[in-house]
Amino acid sequence: MLYTLLGLFIFSPGAKSWLLKQLVSTGLFNAEIKKDKNALQVPPSFSFTDSSGKIISTSDLKGKVVFINFWASWCPPGRAEMSSLNQLYLELRGDDKFFFLFINEDDDPLKAKNYIEKDNLSIPFYSRAGDISPVIFNGTLPTTVILDKEGKMVLNHHGMAKYNTNEFIRELNAL
């Protein structure tokens, strides 16, 4: 029985995601924006495509706090944090100070769109439209990056986290 459970968590992305989601819900992985002025830098801009095919650049978003999350439907840590990301998005989506950029890294965008639909997620769907500097995204999934209103990177977090906490929302609003 133990080996069956262990095998399930090792080989099933859904089971692994469920287990990781339980860990995220404990609060051990809460996101935090640290105010390290030495780490602030303006990373190179990059382009992305929205669901209608329109190409947009991050340089067009200056004046807004840009919340960027790189994710894939097959990635258990990304799936584990998706609920908190969706809740954060739902809470702040009406505030025009923010722009939420969820960039999908699946090879097949249809798989990602099916995942969003199956899990009743409201996050907007974006794809990259070219190369992205490793300063922003080095390939680790999930990765979350936050750019302040001036375009400076104030967070570059690799791995899962819980983003819908009151403290994190206060930190976002302070930007």
Mean pLDDT within 100-105: 98
Q: Report the 10 Å Cβ neighbour count for 40.
A: 12
User: For the whole model, what pTM was predicted?
Assistant: 0.84
The reported pLDDT for the residue numbered 14 is 72
Peptide bond into 142 cis (omega under 30): yes
Domain boundary assignment for the chain: 2-174
**Res 126 pLDDT > 60:** yes
The reported pLDDT for the residue numbered 13 is 65
pLDDT digits (tens, 9 = 90+) for 30-74: 677 766 554 568 889 999 999 899 999 999 999 999 999 999 999
Please report which confidence band the pLDDT of residue 76 belongs to, taking 50, 70 and 90 as the band edges.
very high
The CATH number of the structural domain formed by 2-174 is 3.40.30.10
The reported pLDDT for the residue numbered 121 is 97
**Contact, 80 vs 47, CB < 8 A?**
no
Average pLDDT value for the chain: 87
Mean pLDDT within 139-152: 95
How far, in Å, CA of 31 to CA of 105, rounded?
A: 22
Side-chain half-sphere of 174: how many Cα atoms within 13 Å? 11
